[in-house]
Structures are given as structure tokens and as C-alpha cells.
Amino acid sequence: KNEVEQSPQNLTAQEGEFITINCSYSVGISALHWLQQHPGGGIVSLFMLSSGKKKHGRLIATINIQEKHSSLHITASHPRDSAVYICAVRPPGAQKLVFGQGTRLTINP
């Protein structure tokens, strides 16, 4: 079993829909990251959080430390949001990130 599990693995939705991507982890963490990867490989950091909730534009990330669970929400989704979204955790005392397998999101016009 992977230390970081994401669901769903693939998600297709229509433009305007509310999107939720889930991440569960089995290890202790000092921080959790949500990352976006477009075709071609480039990875962009969306959020880094260790508690509560963060919002940036149409993106919202939440984390529940007790339940070892985080969600990434996208409101009013748009085709340009189509990408792979990756959850990654930083174990305490470590610098490296441990990644989930990613969720491939496709937003159709």
C-alpha cells in the first residue's frame, strides 16, 4: 500500500462543475503539498499546508490532520484546469516529498 493515496485516479467533468480530489496518507507529516502538472512535465506548487484550509482564486485546499486526509477543490472549473493534480507529503524531519500517483483531471467545454 502506498503511503499517499489519491482518488479518483481519473476525473472527467464539464466546464463549470465543482471538482474534488482526495488525498489520504498513512504516515506522519510536517506538511502536505498540492501540485499541478501539465503535459510536458512542468510541476507547479499550488498549496503547502499543515492545518486548516487555504484558498487561492478558484482553488481551495483543506486538511484534517487527525483523519490524515486532504482535499483539493476547484470551483467553476474551466478547460484550462485540465492537468494532473498531485498530492505530496513531507515526513517529519525529512526534506524529501513522498508523492501520490496523481489525479488526471479533464474539463470538457
Partner 1 sequence: GAGVSQSPRYKVAKRGQDVALRCDPISGHVSLFWYQQALGQGPEFLTYFQNEAQLDKSGLPSDRFFAERPEGSVSTLKIQRTQQEDSAVYLCASSLARDRGLNQPQHFGDGTRLSIL
Given the rule CB under 8 A, which residues bind partner 1? 4, 30-31, 33, 35, 40-45, 48, 50, 86, 88, 90, 94-102
- Residue nearer to partner 1 on the CB measure, 13 or 43: 43
**Grid cell at residue 54:** 487555504
Nearest-approach distance from CB 80 to partner 1, in angstroms: 18
CB atoms within 10 A of CB 84: 17
Q: What are the φ and ψ backbone dihedral angles of 57, each rounded to 5 degrees?
A: 60, -125
Cβ closer to partner 1: 51 or 75?
A: 51
Nearer to partner 1, 19 or 89 (CB): 89
What is the dihedral angle through the alpha carbons of 10, 14, 20, 24, rounded to the nearest 10 degrees?
Answer: 0
Shortest CB 87 distance to partner 1, Å: 8
Q: Is 44 left (phi over 0), alpha (psi -120 to 50) or beta?
A: beta
Q: How far is the CB of 102 from partner 1 (least distance, A)?
A: 5
